[in-house]
Amino acid sequence: MNLMQTTMPVAARNLDTITYAIGESAIGKILAARSHIGVCAILIGSDADALEQDLGDRFPGKMLVEDEATLRGDLAAIARFIETPSVGLDLPLDLRHGTPFQQRVWDVLRTIPCGATITYTALAQRLGRPNGARAVATACAANAIAIGIPCHRVVSADGTLSGYRWGVERKRALLNKEATI
């Protein structure tokens, strides 16, 4: 793995640095990562090495620095939101790592209230692309900020759960927690 794991002082970091840390949550391991702008990734999985590899694949050319002390608060906020979605997730997000269309999809996703769902087709229509359900699904799959950009709230036209980058069982768990609000 080509991840640089160091304890580089904050002053020595530059705009090409992303700090990250891995913690635990009710739905598995979570990796939180920050750029100088805000949280640029929240990845969910079962294996820390796979999460680190995913982060490296999503941010090629960036210096990735493991920094649990700096991200401790973010990890706690993410785990708290997963367990109790009604608390909200108030973290600054860095949404620059997507195409303009992906960013539009992600912006609309952030307006879907906790406990609500939307279909891929309805989301495409909301974006003025009535035949764009597949493009919306692709944008959801490209989302690196799980729960911060709530792509888990998008469901199939018939209301069933489908396609979630971090697994349908995790999607179901997130939606079930939100449904109890």
pLDDT score at 168: 86
Summarised one tens digit per residue, pLDDT across range 98-143 is 899 999 999 999 999 998 999 999 999 999 998 999 999 999 999 9
Fold classification of 10-87 (topology level): Double Stranded RNA Binding Domain (3.30.160)
CATH classification code of 100-179? 1.10.10.10
- Annotated catalytic residue within 40, 114, 140, 151: 151
- Which residues, including other chains, have CB under 8 Å from residue 64's CB and lie 6 or more apart? 3, 4, 5, 17, 18, 19, 20, 33, 52, 55, 56
Residue ranges covered by each domain of the chain: 10-87, 100-179
Summarised one tens digit per residue, pLDDT across range 143-164 is 999 999 999 999 887 777 877 7
pLDDT score at 14: 66
Summarised one tens digit per residue, pLDDT across range 41-75 is 999 999 999 999 999 999 999 999 999 999 999 99
The yes-or-no answer to whether 10-87 and 100-179 have a common fold is no
Confidence label for 4 from pLDDT (cuts 50, 70 and 90): very low
Confidence label for 94 from pLDDT (cuts 50, 70 and 90): very high
- Which residues, including other chains, have CB under 8 Å from residue 179's CB and lie 6 or more apart? 115
Confidence label for 25 from pLDDT (cuts 50, 70 and 90): very high
Confidence label for 93 from pLDDT (cuts 50, 70 and 90): very high
CA diameter of the chain: 51
Confidence label for 97 from pLDDT (cuts 50, 70 and 90): confident
Q: Do the beta carbons of residue 118 and residue 112 sit within 8 Å?
A: yes
Q: Is 40 a catalytic residue?
A: no
